[in-house]
Amino acid sequence: MPWKESSAVSLRHEFVRLASGEGANVSEIARRFGVSRTTAYKWLGRHRANESAGLLDRSRVPLASPEKTPAAIEAAVLALRDQHPAWGGRKLRARLLAVGQADVPAASTITAILRRHQRLGPRAGQPRAFQRFEHPTPNALWQMDFKGHVAIGTGRCHPLTILDDHARYSLGLFACADERNPTVRGHLTEVFRRFGLPDRILCDNGPPWGASESAYTELGVWLLRLGVQISHGRPYHPQTQGKDERFPRTLNVEVLQGRTFADLAACQRRFDDWREVYNAQRPHEALNLAVPASRYRPSPRSFPEILPAIEYHDHDAVRKVQRDGTIFFKNREWKVGKAFARRSVAVRPTTDDGRFDVYFATIAVAQIDLHEENAGVS
């Protein structure tokens, strides 16, 4: 998978960052990025030697000011603000410190500089943030969602966002023509190949990952087949997916707002550039102003190009799901879900008499209760 010319710099940056992490398997990460070991070690060597031309985008902010005058400091603040018009005093200060700027003032002073130079709007109260649970390790949970589609020169762009819960790392940001299963599956495959498999993915209840008649869709069944569990946020409670709900708002403010794009390719180029800034430069308030790249590590679970056959125990009652999503068991018809049509499932007894779990691969996807007279399908 050769690197696209339009995003080669950001991909090299991301590769070096991941391959330089503690305990990183350089050969495996190189394979996921589609480069040879020779190329991988070439870029790592150049990075270690600080030969960053062509690898990392250099900041326009001066690393040092010989005169160290207030005017020079203000110029550095304003230059960085012009690059990132949505960043406030705290983010700008953290980034200036990260790039080695001398004599960085307090965040309140930076805010005053912005206001003095008409870089801020009128004061407004900040909305109260929800206190959210955070998974303790990378790849324990990813959040996935479509940001509301936007108009472009050739139609509509549907931005697909994939975010790691622990690190707030943007694993994928894609300019899509639609929100259908093949589109999402194609981009997820690309992300899985590069970063490995998560334990679980959290989505909302809409298509292509949610369905009214079942907890699973074709996309969800594919994820189960890969050993990735899928769960859904509570209906009408977007805070369940707080991090990935917040991410599209940031995307809108820093990328989409006030801009027009000719086509999907133009959108994707802008997405690629901003994703690199978001992951490796933009200080994150929820991470104590660290950047997401400082907390993310690729998953050790590699994406299998060829899935092994599903095997069930000899004592399982194996049934083939019919086209209407039902199976026959104990002389009755039971609903499993149309997404499992033409696939085999296993019926296993639970510790409760008369109750059975229905498994697809290693995941229980439905339950049968013989005591309920109307539980079967008439």
Alpha carbon distance 231, 164 (integer Å): 15
Q: Which of 259, 294, 329 delimits the end of a domain? A: 294
The answer, yes or no, to whether residue 58 has pLDDT greater than 50, is no
Name the helix (H) or strand (E) containing 219. Answer: helix 218-225
Residue appearing with tokens 């390719």: 265
* Phi and psi, residue 219, nearest 5°: -65, -40
pLDDT at res. 213: 57
Report the relative pairing of strands 344-349 and 317-320 from DSSP bridges: antiparallel
Judgement on whether residues 44 and 74 belong to the same structural domain of the protein: no
Domain annotation covers residue 16: yes
Judgement on whether residues 74 and 44 belong to the same structural domain of the protein: no
Domain annotation covers residue 259: yes
Domain annotation covers residue 57: no
Q: Which of 262, 294, 326 delimits the end of a domain? A: 294
Judgement on whether residues 247 and 336 belong to the same structural domain of the protein: no
The answer, yes or no, to whether residue 332 has pLDDT greater than 50, is yes
Whole-number average pLDDT of the chain: 83
Report the CATH number at residue 257. Answer: 3.30.420.10
pLDDT at res. 377: 55
Report the relative pairing of strands 200-203 and 229-232 from DSSP bridges: parallel
Structural domain of 327: 317-369
Judgement on whether residues 19 and 94 belong to the same structural domain of the protein: no
Domain annotation covers residue 9: yes
Domain annotation covers residue 22: yes
pLDDT at res. 233: 67
Alpha carbon distance 64, 313 (integer Å): 67
**pLDDT band for position 232 (cuts 50, 70, 90):** confident
Strand partners, 369: 355
Q: Which of 294, 309, 330 delimits the end of a domain? A: 294
Strand partners, 160: 146, 174
Q: What are the pLDDT digits (tens) for 209-231? A: 766 556 789 999 999 999 998 88
Question: To 5 degrees, how large is the angle CA 59–CA 102–CA 98?
Answer: 50
Give pTM, 2 decimals. Answer: 0.74
The answer, yes or no, to whether residue 98 has pLDDT greater than 60, is yes
Judgement on whether residues 176 and 236 belong to the same structural domain of the protein: yes
Judgement on whether residues 175 and 281 belong to the same structural domain of the protein: yes
**pLDDT band for position 125 (cuts 50, 70, 90):** very low
Judgement on whether residues 192 and 271 belong to the same structural domain of the protein: yes
Residue appearing with tokens 């203000």: 74
Judgement on whether residues 219 and 251 belong to the same structural domain of the protein: yes
**Residues ≥6 apart with Cβ < 8 Å to 241:** 143, 145, 202, 203, 204, 233
Alpha carbon distance 338, 326 (integer Å): 8
Judgement on whether residues 236 and 287 belong to the same structural domain of the protein: yes
CA torsion 159-164-166-167 (nearest 10°) is -80
| Cβ atoms of 348 and 357 closer than 8 Å | yes
From 233, 202, 237, 236, select the one nearest 220 (Cα to Cα): 202
Judgement on whether residues 146 and 282 belong to the same structural domain of the protein: yes
Helix (H, G, I), strand (E, B), or coil: what is residue 242? Answer: helix
Domain annotation covers residue 256: yes
pLDDT at res. 212: 56
Domain annotation covers residue 21: yes
Judgement on whether residues 212 and 337 belong to the same structural domain of the protein: no
Domain count, the chain: 4
Judgement on whether residues 288 and 321 belong to the same structural domain of the protein: no
pLDDT at res. 35: 85
From 296, 310, 168, 165, select the one nearest 227 (Cα to Cα): 310
Report the CATH number at residue 94. Answer: 1.10.10
Task: Report percent pLDDT > 90 for the chain.
Answer: 45
pLDDT at res. 113: 85
Domain annotation covers residue 61: no
pLDDT at res. 234: 58
Q: What are the pLDDT digits (tens) for 255-287? A: 988 889 999 999 999 999 999 999 999 988 888
**Residues ≥6 apart with Cβ < 8 Å to 204:** 145, 210, 232, 233, 238, 241
Compute the average pLDDT of residues 367-376.
Answer: 78
Total residue count of the chain as it appears in this document = 378
Helix (H, G, I), strand (E, B), or coil: what is residue 339? Answer: helix
Instruction: Show the DSSP H helices in 84-212 as ranges.
Output: 89-98, 107-116, 181-195
From 75, 15, 88, select the one nearest 279 (Cα to Cα): 15
Q: How is residue 107 written in tokens?
A: 């965040």
Q: What are the pLDDT digits (tens) for 142-201? A: 999 998 899 999 999 999 999 999 999 999 999 999 999 999 999 999 999 999 999 999
Q: Among the ranges 10-24, 181-195, 281-295, which has the highest mean pLDDT value?
A: 181-195
Total Cβ atoms within 10 A of residue 188: 24
